[in-house]
Structure 1
Amino acid sequence: MQRTLLEEKKKRNIPVICVFVAIACLLVLMGFLDTFVLKRPEAGPPNPPAASVPLKAPELPTGAEVPQALNMGMPGAPISVTDLQATHSTAPEKHFTLTAEAASLALDHGAPVQAWTFNGSAPGPTLRVRQGDMVVVTLINHLSFGVTIHWHGVSVPNADDGVAGVTQNAVKPGQSYTYRFLAKDAGTYWYHSHQFSYTETTGGLYGMLIVDPASPQVHDDVDSSVTLHDWNGANNQTLLAINTTTGTVKTNARAGQWVRLRVLNSSSDQHTVTLLGAPFMVAALDGHDVNAPQWLNQTPLPIGAAQRYDLRFQMPRTGAVTLVTSANNRQYQSAPAVVLGQGTVPGKLPAVSTHWFNLDTYGQPAPDPITTKSHFDVNYGITLNNHMGDSLGRMGMVYTLNGKVFPQTGMIMLKEGQLVKMHLDNQSDLIHPIHLHGHVFTVLTHNGHALTGSPIHLDTINIQPHDSYDIAFLANNPGIWMLHCHNLLHANWGMDMMVMYDISTPYSIGRATGNFPD
């Protein structure tokens, strides 16, 4: 019956129906027809989030300039890196196993990130030991390419430094390797692969090492550690995560408790952080205590690649304390963040203060074995720069030390017992976090001016564009050590050199061995 009536209407007013059909077709195209006569079908499952960029196994450059087997040691030297191992002792042993394996990380942003991990997570397990312990770590490689572990900031014997082609061969798929070293110095340190460091560390092969002091000078009720890391997400979007989330890390802390928050930047770029909700102090830098640190309030902290800050504060009577980050150095962002205590990230976040943390004046002076007035046995000047050029047969932006790229950068030659001074001059428009293996150095001057606060001891100095620093250290750890930029892209494209004692090595860098330490 309904159909007969419609047919009669159609006969009486065909033009009107044609107009109606045309309008209906247009509405279908616009997605609004359900407003009139049609019911839109129920929505199906949402489209899955875009997958992150798959990780590609690292490969040596293929240019003719790639060495076949480059030996970094001193020919005929009486001592080999293989001789420079931890001596047997009665120290308590702490044993750990780290398995390099692939995993998919959620990071709370919706799309999984493909990663290379230690024990299935990135960061890998936090290794916690006591000052004076013998640390024994077995690396097992379940990946399809070689890996190592470098103990960043730890004064290990040279044989345990984890630099592929210099202190060991990369651990091949299915193989294992054991590191053994004494935890001499308390502090906040970390570990990461030093074979194809740019791809492997960026891809997730990193974690923290914390050495608790044998005789603590202060008491911390809460001791928490967090890691800042940049991930390559979908569409090559950079995702900053804290630990394993791009959201909020929650940490329990009660009113009145003293908190130590250890912050590591494991990415290659500088990040800016601060604490909201309580005054705080920078108790240690790169694991080394600051003398008489002053209280800070919402002070921006620039943390360079590979650097660590130990922040101490007391929880307020009410509310939470929040670690926030800034993406543009103008305004803090709500995520990622760390919330300590009961509460959430503040709804309204402050602008980034113009009064930044300044290690030149922070803390109070104290006697130190190395000062600007010390007699230095060796002085070296190193300029940092970049330009378009060639690195191992690859054309692109290269990053130079004294105008050259590795392995043409030469060597810094040392003898045990020498007091060594280096002048680091950043002539580029980029930030260069320069890391020295195997030693702790004292920062003497910044842009020609002596530091006026606490003695500052670091293993990585974050050098801003067109800044310069004088640093100095005692040559007290024989071996073959790297000096390089910890923006690992810069290291991969040339910004590396060796600090050499009279030591030989049986290992080589290049195509014949597959070792490439960046």
Structure 2
Amino acid sequence: MPVRRPHPDRREVLGQLLGASGAAALGLAIPPVSGRAAEARADHILRIAPVSHEIAPGKVIRTTAYNGAVPGPVLRLKEGEPVRINVVNDSGYPNLVHWHGLHLPPEQDSASEEGSPIIAPGGSLVYAFTPKPSGTRWYHSHAMAMEDLTRSTYSGEFGFLIVEPAAGDPGRYDREVLLASHTWEGHWVSMQDLQKGPPPDNGLEAMYRSATLGDRMLGHGEPVRVREGERVLFRILNANASMGISLALPGHRFQVVALDGNPVPVQAAVEVLKLDAAERADVIIEMNNPGVWVLGSTKDDERGMGMGMGVVVEYANRRGEPQWVQPQRDDWRYAAFARAGAAAAPDETIALRFEKIPGGRGGYNRWTINGKSWPDTDPLFTVQRGKRYRLVMDNHSGDEHPVHIHRHTFEVTKVGDQPMSGLMKDTISLPRFSKAEIDLVADDPGATFFHCHHQDHMDQGFAGLIRYV
């Protein structure tokens, strides 16, 4: 069945045409600079290129990645200190690198919908910006993938970006561990052909055969080695293209200190950690239960040897088979980390309804916001600088949606019927048939991309532009 593409060739055509002269003609703030001059002027270099990544003995994933590694190199930047990053695109297709969670001008943000330049195959581009705010951010491809499950966020093109606070970090932990979740070997499935799943009028969905939490499948990489009495900060990232994760570490609890890089008002301890695509959590784990444990998915089929989403946590002087114990309860909820009670009243309220147009057997689902799909959602709505807007979001579909707003941080003000305040995020998970409200302060003028972070949802219309007037 033919796939309806939302402006399908626009990125490819621009990516091939935009060189230095093209960017200058469009008045873009970031002129592409290539070759030795760019490398000499850059603080960091990221090269996007094909790699063969072994996730288990004999299981090699052929993908694209940054600097030959999955995840890519950890970029540690200082809040308020300018940085230049040279990105060389040897991926073989038009590409962009999005600096997820940073407050940047549209030209630097790397979303072509906002006017950011695309890097043509074989080309390069120097991004120059001043990183803010501090916290656990990340970088990833923002190219279209459509039906190609080897491109963009389906690939190995992701990495941690840590913005260290300008005033320094008091460091109430002994050391840190960075873990990113990713799924591999994607294939399209007509859900109605399975014995269980969504209704038969659904369309194609991406399914995966393997997963990693870190660089390898469970049991095939180096364990996380700890000592009794340590306080370890885990920075955990869901870098999956279209799947949420639910994690546990038997005999331990996650003390959540930040979500999406932003300190939480209430540092609650939970047994289960849930992150939708693109969400991050900074959690401190008190290492007070010696043994050899599995930190992994709470779902047996995801943690099992077939898929392998997990990592071994091994205490010093302990040996033996890694142990798994199913958590007693699922205690994850946004309200646990927020202040109780209503947030400040907004200047304006905007209703957003998310719906699916099923693709049927062999077809791709289509997504709408208030009855329209991208590019008809430009603008999705308009804002005035300095005003506070409450977005009342209604997920009227049987799919979860991690909703992301570029270049801004928003406040979660209600989930279901429960009001709250103080919880700041850049991505919020809306489970199937659910409602939530977030407050957006229009404090970063310029075109602002709004979309579901599931790659297939975004590619098939779940996106819009917020325009400043």
TM-score (norm 1): 0.73
Aligned twin of 2:328 = 353
The one-letter code matched in structure 2 to 1:460 is T
- The correspondence for 1:406, drawn from 367, 374, 387, is 374
* Superposition deviation, residue 180 in structure 1: 1.7
Q: CA deviation at 1:317?
A: 6.7
Q: Please name the residue that 2:155 is paired with.
A: 203
- State the distance in 2 between where 1:197 and 1:256 align: 45
Matched, 1:303 2:275: yes
Q: 2:64 aligns with which of 93, 111, 116?
A: 116
Contact 2:71/2:156, CA 8 A, preserved across alignment: yes
Q: Could you report, residue by residue, the CA deviation over 1:89-147 in whole angstroms, capped at 9, with x for unpaired residues? A: xxxx9811000100111101522111011111221111112333323211001122111
- Alpha-carbon displacement from aligned partner over 1:32-89 (angstroms, at most 9, x marks no partner): xxxxxxxxxxxxxxxxxxxxxxxxxxxx978797576999xxxxxxxx983599xxxx
**CA–CA distance in 1 between the matches of 2:99 and 2:45?**
15
Tell me what 1:324 maps to: 296
Unaligned regions of 5+ residues in structure 1, if any? Answer: 1-59, 72-79, 86-92, 366-370, 503-518
Q: Which moved more, 1:235-244 or 1:304-313?
A: 235-244
Residue of structure 2 in register with 1:441 after alignment: 410
One-letter code aligned to 1:303 = L
1:312-335 deviation digits (Å, cap 9, x = unpaired): 022227335642213359x96574
Structure with bigger gyration radius = 1
Greater RCO (CA < 8 Å, at least 6 residues apart): 1
Aligned residue for 1:180?
Answer: 128
CA contact (8 A) 1:271 1:302 kept: yes
Q: Which residue of 1 aligns with 2:176?
A: 223
The answer to which of 477-486 and 174-183 deviates more is: 174-183
1:309 match: secondary structure? strand
Q: For residue 374 of structure 1, what is the aligned residue in structure 2?
A: 344
Check the 8 A contact 1:81/1:158 in 2, yes or no: no
RMSD value over aligned CA atoms?
A: 3.1
Percent identical residues: 25
Single out whichever of 423-432 and 351-360 deviates more from structure 2.
351-360
What does 1:105-144 align with in structure 2 at a 5 Å threshold? 105-144=53-92
Counterpart residue number, 1:271 = 245
Which residue pairs with 1:484 in the alignment? 451
Amino acid at match of 2:169: P
> Is the partner of 1:220 in helix, strand or coil?
coil
- Aligned partner of 2:224 in structure 1 is 251
CA distance, structure 2, for counterparts of residue 480 and residue 424 of structure 1: 20
Contact 2:248 2:272 in 1 (8 A): yes
SS at match of 2:358: strand
Name the SS for the 2:45 alignment partner: strand
Matched, 1:283 2:283: no
Distance 1:444 1:158 in 2: 26
CA distance in 2, matches of 1:219, 1:148: 36
Counterparts of 2:279 and 2:437, CA distance in 1: 18
| Unpaired runs of at least 5, structure 2 | 15-25, 32-40, 189-206
How big is the shift at 1:207?
A: 1.0
What is the correspondence of 1:22-171 to structure 2 with a 5 Å cutoff? 82=28, 95-171=43-119
Query: What amino acid does structure 2 have at the position aligned with 1:108?
Result: A
From the superposition, tell whether residues 64 and 482 of structure 1 become closer, same or farther in structure 2 (CA, over 3 Å): closer
Segment drifting more, 214-223 vs 306-315 = 214-223
Distance 1:427 1:332 in 2: 30
- 2:282 and 2:158 mapped to 1: Cα distance? 19
Give the residue type in structure 2 aligned to 1:351.
Q
Rounded Cα–Cα distance in structure 1 between residues aligned with 2:426 and 2:370: 21
CA contact 1:149–1:162 (8 Å) conserved in 2: yes
In structure 1, how many angstroms separate the alpha carbons of the residues matched to 2:109 and 2:345?
Answer: 29
Deviation at 1:353, TM superposition (A): 3.3
- Contact 2:107/2:115 (CA < 8 Å) preserved in 1? yes
Residue 484 to residue 363, structure 1, CA distance change in 2 (3 Å) = closer
How far is the alpha carbon of 1:379 from its aligned partner? 1.9
Cα 1:101–1:273 shift into 2, 3 Å:
same
Of 238, 243, 249, 2:209 maps to 238
Whole-Å Cα distance in 2 between the matches of residues 356 and 312 of structure 1?
17
Q: Which position in structure 2 is the counterpart of 1:314?
A: 286
Letter in 1 for 2:263: D
Q: CA deviation at 1:237?
A: 4.9
Distance 1:402 1:310, change over 3 A: same
Give me the whole-angstrom Cα distance separating, in 2, the residues matched to 1:462 and 1:408.
24
Shift of 1:258: 1.5
Q: Does 1:424 align with 2:372?
A: no
Paired AA for residue 483 in structure 1: F
Distance change (3 Å), C-alpha of 1:230 and 1:65: closer
Write out per-residue CA displacement over residues 256-301 of structure 1, whole angstroms, 9 at most, x where no aligned residue: 22210011001121111012233330111100111241333xx222
Could you tell me whether the CA contact under 8 Å between 1:337 and 1:345 is conserved in 2? no
Q: Offset at 1:420? A: 1.2
Q: Equivalents in 1 of 2:250, 2:80: separation in Å? A: 36
What is the rounded CA distance, in whole Å, between the counterparts of 1:84 and 1:423 in structure 2? 35
Cross-structure match for 2:267: 293
Q: Which residue of 1 aligns with 2:202?
A: none
SS, match of residue 190 in structure 1: strand
Residues 423 and 84 from structure 1, CA distance in 2 versus in 1: closer, same or farther, beyond 3 angstroms? farther
> Following the alignment from structure 2 to structure 1, what is the Cα–Cα distance between the partners of residues 289 and 210?
34
The aligned residue for residue 337 of structure 1 is 310
Distance across 2 between alignment mates of 1:498 and 1:459: 16
Local SS of the residue matching 1:201: helix
CA apart distance, 1:167 = 2.5
